[in-house]
C-alpha cells in the first residue's frame, strides 16, 4: 500500500529554459516535484522580442507564483489603449482597453528576455543547468535518460520538451518533420528609445497594404518594432 501511495513522478527534466520551461519548473516545484531545467544557451542573453501577456496568462502565472504579476507589471507596460494608424502615421482610431472591466487585468507588454529573467529568478540557481543542449533521450520502463551535447546524462521520471519551435524532443518523440513555413515573416527589433509619438501604456498598430507594424512599449524605456 505504501508503495502505491508514493508519488509516481519525483524528478522531472525540462528541456529548454525559455518562458514555457521556466514557468513549468516553477509550477512543478510548487507541487514538491524536483524539476530541473536544461538550457542549451551558455547564458541568458538579452534576446527575443516583445510579448503581450493577456489576462488569462497573467492569472496562470499568479496561480503558480503569487505576486509574480506585480513584479512583471513593474518591468513591463500595462496597455490602456490601442491606436490604429495608417502607414503614413495618420490615426484611424484609438480604442480604450476593456480588459480591466472584463477580466480584472490589463494586457501587459514585456520583453521576452525580462520575462525569462523574472521567471528564472523564482527558481533556485542550482536547478537551472545552462550549456546543456539535449541531443537524445531513451526511455525504459521506469525512467527517461537524457543525453546532452556536453557529454552529461540525466535520469528522470519524466522528460518535458519545452525547447521551442524546432524542438529536438519533439523530433525524437514524434518525428513529424520541421515546422511548415506559411508565408508570413515577422521582423522584430527591441530598442531603448523614448519619443512623444510613443506614449506609454499604448500599443500602436500601423497597417500597410500587406504589412502590419506593431509598436509595443515594453517598459523600462524599451520599445519593440
Q: Using CB under 6 A, list all residues that contact ligand FAD.
A: 15-21, 38-41, 49, 51-53, 57, 132-134, 162-164, 168, 186, 188
Instruction: Report the residue number, 16 or 219, with the smaller CB distance to ligand FAD.
Output: 16
Instruction: Report the residue number, 8 or 165, with the smaller CB distance to ligand FAD.
Output: 165
Cell of 150: 556536453
Residue nearest to ligand FAD (CB): 18
Identify the bridge partners of residue 223 per DSSP, sorted by sequence position.
191, 217
Q: Which residues, including other chains, have CB under 8 Å from residue 88's CB and lie 6 or more apart?
A: none
Instruction: Give the nearest distance from C-beta 1 to ligand FAD in angstroms.
Output: 39
Instruction: Report the residue number, 99 or 196, with the smaller CB distance to ligand FAD.
Output: 99
Q: Which of 9, 13, 20, 35 is nearest to 124 (CA)?
A: 35
Instruction: Report the residue number, 33 or 55, with the smaller CB distance to ligand FAD.
Output: 55
Bridge pairing between strands 134-139 and 158-161: unpaired
Identify the bridge partners of residue 50 per DSSP, sorted by sequence position.
111
Instruction: Give the nearest distance from C-beta 171 to ligand FAD in angstroms.
Output: 9
Amino acid at each position: 500500500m505504501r508503495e502505491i501511495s508514493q508519488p509516481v513522478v519525483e524528478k522531472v527534466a525540462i528541456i529548454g529554459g525559455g518562458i514555457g520551461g521556466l514557468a513549468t519548473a516553477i509550477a512543478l516545484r510548487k507541487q514538491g516535484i524536483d524539476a530541473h531545467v536544461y538550457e542549451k544557451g551558455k547564458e541568458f542573453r538579452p534576446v527575443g522580442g516583445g510579448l503581450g501577456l493577456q489576462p488569462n496568462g497573467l492569472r496562470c502565472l499568479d496561480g503558480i507564483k503569487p505576486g509574480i504579476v506585480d513584479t512583471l507589471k513593474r518591468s513591463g507596460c500595462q496597455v490602456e489603449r490601442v491606436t490604429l494608424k495608417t502607414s503614413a502615421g495618420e490615426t484611424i482610431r484609438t480604442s480604450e482597453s476593456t480588459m480591466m472591466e472584463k477580466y480584472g487585468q490589463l494586457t501587459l507588454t514585456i520583453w521576452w528576455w525580462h520575462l525569462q529573467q523574472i521567471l528564472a529568478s523564482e527558481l533556485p540557481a542550482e536547478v537551472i543547468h545552462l550549456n546543456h543542449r539535449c541531443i537524445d533521450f531513451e526511455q525504459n520502463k521506469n525512467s527517461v535518460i537524457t543525453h546532452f551535447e556536453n557529454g552529461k546524462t540525466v535520469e528522470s521520471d519524466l522528460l518535458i520538451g519545452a525547447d521551442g519551435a524546432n524542438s529536438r524532443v519533439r523530433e525524437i518523440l514524434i518525428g513529424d518533420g520541421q515546422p511548415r513555413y506559411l508565408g508570413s515573416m515577422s521582423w522584430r527589433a527591441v530598442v531603448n528609445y523614448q519619443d512623444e509619438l510613443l506614449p506609454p501604456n499604448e500599443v500602436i498598430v500601423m497597417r500597410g497594404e500587406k504589412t502590419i507594424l506593431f509598436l509595443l512599449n515594453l517598459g523600462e524605456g524599451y520599445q519593440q518594432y
